[in-house]
Structure 1
Amino acid sequence: MPQMMPLNWIFLYFMFNLIFYLFMINNYFNLNFTNNKTSPLKSNYSKSFHNFWPLN
């Protein structure tokens, strides 16, 4: 990292990365929560896991 890099650039860079990527991960695991194939017996599985691997 450059020695004379202003601290506000570092702050903005890391805050942007954290907020953006965390927000997008959260949306990816929470947007599609409708599953017509699921039954009440399989409700113990998490919806994020269904979004990631819907086979179970």
Structure 2
Amino acid sequence: MPEPYSCTAEVLAQFGIDPAAVADVIVTHGHYDQIGNFNLFPNARIHMSETEYRF
């Protein structure tokens, strides 16, 4: 089970997921302390509501 504040890439590896194979990332909210690491998903399309993006 992932530990709190684990590295995203390490958690994905525990489940056998290659970040480069992820096609879509859905961002539910953009709190500064919970968003980032998009560089881990070089082939993904990032989805976020316009309202949240403008916030």
What TM-score results when the alignment is normalised by the length of structure 1?
A: 0.23
The structure number with the bigger radius of gyration is 1
Higher relative CO (Cα under 8 Å, sequence separation at least 6) belongs to 2
What TM-score results when the alignment is normalised by the length of structure 2?
A: 0.23
User: Which structure's residues are more often helix, by fraction?
Assistant: 1
User: Which structure's residues are more often strand, by fraction?
Assistant: 2
